[in-house]
Amino acid sequence: MEVVETWRAALREVANLSGWHLQDRQESIFIQHIVEDLVHVLTRGTATEAIQAIPHQVSLARSKEFGQVKMHRSQTF
């Protein structure tokens, strides 16, 4: 549970940051940069190593209806 709370606090902090502008970049690349920065801050290591450690049951899916990015967990998680 401590890991979940750490992620929740980090995501809340990132959500309140100003200065993240999409401009003319692709949304997926923009999100990738945010994730890499967040992972680096949380792990003080490389983003690639941290991303590989994320369980494969967690996936990000883009909701076409609302244009939002949502996180979904599988039933086996």
Kindly report, residue by residue over 57-77, the tens digit of the pLDDT. 344 444 444 455 555 554 443
Q: Are 47 and 35 in contact (CB under 8 A)?
A: yes
How far, in Å, CA of 60 to CA of 24, rounded? 22
Coil vs helix vs strand at 69: strand
**Rounded mean pLDDT, 27-50:** 73
Q: Residue 23: CB partners within 8 Å, gap ≥ 6? A: none
| 51 band by pLDDT with thresholds 50, 70 and 90 | low
- 60 DSSP β-pair partners: 71
Distances (CA, A) of 69 to 1, 34, 72: 23, 13, 10
Residue-wise pLDDT for 10-36, tens only, equals 888 878 877 667 777 788 888 888 888
Whether pLDDT at 1 is above 50? yes
Domain ranges of the chain: 2-15+22-73
User: So what's the pLDDT on residue 62?
Assistant: 46
At 74 the pLDDT is 45
